[in-house]
Amino acid sequence: MTQEELDALMNEDLDLNEVNETEEMLDDSEDFDTQSEETNNVEEENNDEAAAYRVSALHSWPPPPPTDDNKMVHQLDDVTKESEQKASEIFDLIEGISNDLGDGEKSIKKTKAIIDSNIALFTTLHAKFPHVEAFGEQLTQNKEAKEHLDAIMQILQDGGDTIMNIMDIMQYQDIHRQKIERVINVMRALSTYMNHLFSGKIDDAKRVSSAVHIHGDTTTENVVSSDDIEALLASFGQK
């Protein structure tokens, strides 16, 4: 309570209840601010922990659960299967484009043969009848058409060469698939070796359960209580 509030109280200008209510409101406001700060700190810590969850040699995270999404060999098998399937689809599309380019080249060759024949005809006519302008114009137009066909033929041939280069590059996809399959085989061999290495003569179902807590352990979690021990002894007596 401030000096002014005391003076006002002495002068009976301020009610004591109002003073108490004001102090409670201030305390509640401070508590709310403190809780908000603590909540924000917890959220920031969770975000930092999630952002820091990555493979690191300085920090060991617990292994992920053995679900289908985390099984390494299972995932690699899916990768090789999908990769081979998509590569086959790409090769089919490339083969279709290559066939279309080949058909285009055949059509251009046929058209070019006709234009060559026209050029030979109009060359003869223009030589015998130089005063006929139509023969000269047709000769010029056929020569220009032949040049256009040659340019189109060159584009188609360049496209065919590019497709061949793409098919050569796609061969590396098959090499990558073989490398992944080799890794899978090594992993499976190691798994089989480890299973044989840690195998025992007694089945796991027949083994005695391990003690949760041993004298000298620092942990106190999952420790069997006295009630649990008495219940266990009582169950033995009933058998």
Q: What is the residue range of 111's domain?
A: 72-196
Asked if residue 239 is part of any domain, the answer here is no
Shared domain for 192 and 158, answered yes or no, is yes
Asked if residue 229 is part of any domain, the answer here is no
Measure the CA–CA gap between 156 and 152, rounded to whole angstroms.
Answer: 6
Over residues 144-157, mean pLDDT: 94
Shared domain for 40 and 79, answered yes or no, is no
Q: What is the pLDDT of residues 193-213, one digit of tens each?
A: 988 888 888 877 777 676 666
Shared domain for 183 and 102, answered yes or no, is yes
pLDDT at 220 (0 to 100): 59
Boundary (domain end) residue, out of 158, 177, 196: 196
> DSSP string covering 61-99, please?
PPPPP--TTT-HHHHHHHHHHHHHHHHHHHHHHHHHHHH
> DSSP string covering 16-34, please?
HHHHHHHHHHHHHHHHHHH
Q: What is the pLDDT of residues 162-202, one digit of tens each?
A: 999 998 888 888 888 889 999 999 989 998 998 888 888 88
Asked if residue 10 is part of any domain, the answer here is yes
Domain count across the chain: 2
Shared domain for 183 and 100, answered yes or no, is yes
